[in-house]
Amino acid sequence: MPRRVLEGKVVSNKNAKTVTVLVERKIRDPLYGKIMRRSAKYAAHDENNTWNIGDQVSIEECRPISKSKKWRVIGGKVMGESQALTVDEAEAKRASAKRDLAAAAPEKAAAPAKTEPKAAAKAKPKKK
């Protein structure tokens, strides 16, 4: 029987010789016909620790290497710098972007307020 091959994105490489791969698939709802995304995470063996977060990899089914590792990385494509951010990094990035926008915006020059003396002709007479 042939071994299954799946493609996914590396979401974690914190363990030694192991990467966590997120595999997404699209299915059609049987009743309504809406196309939905389903995902699963697989622990895959990465012998040389070559893959980083954000890389697209292909994994192949293999004999059990450990309790949770039953897949092996067979190839992939390096996607460069990771786009994954922690919550703190995302908040810091958002705050710095707001500061940059505030600094770059030209300050509104306060125009001198026009003060006109009230004309006596425009004043309405008081009614008794």
Averaged pLDDT for residues 4-30:
95
- This prediction has a pTM of 0.60
From first CA to last CA, the distance across the chain in angstroms is 106
Domains and CATH numbers, the chain: 5-77 (2.40.50.140)
Angle at 112 between CA 108 and CA 118, to 5 degrees: 140
What would the pLDDT profile of 52-70 be if each residue is shown by its tens digit? Answer: 999 999 999 999 999 999 9
Averaged pLDDT for residues 72-83:
79
Count Cβ atoms below 10 Å from residue 125 Cβ, excluding itself: 5
Judge contact between 14 and 23, C-beta under 8 A.
Answer: no
* Gap between the Cα atoms of 45 and 68, Å rounded: 10
- How many residues does this entry show for the chain? 128
What would the pLDDT profile of 83-123 be if each residue is shown by its tens digit? Answer: 555 566 777 777 777 777 777 776 554 555 566 555 555 66
- Kindly report the average pLDDT of the chain as a whole number: 83
Among residues 57, 81, 78, 59, the alpha carbon closest in space to that of 70 is found at 59
| Residue 31: predicted pLDDT | 96
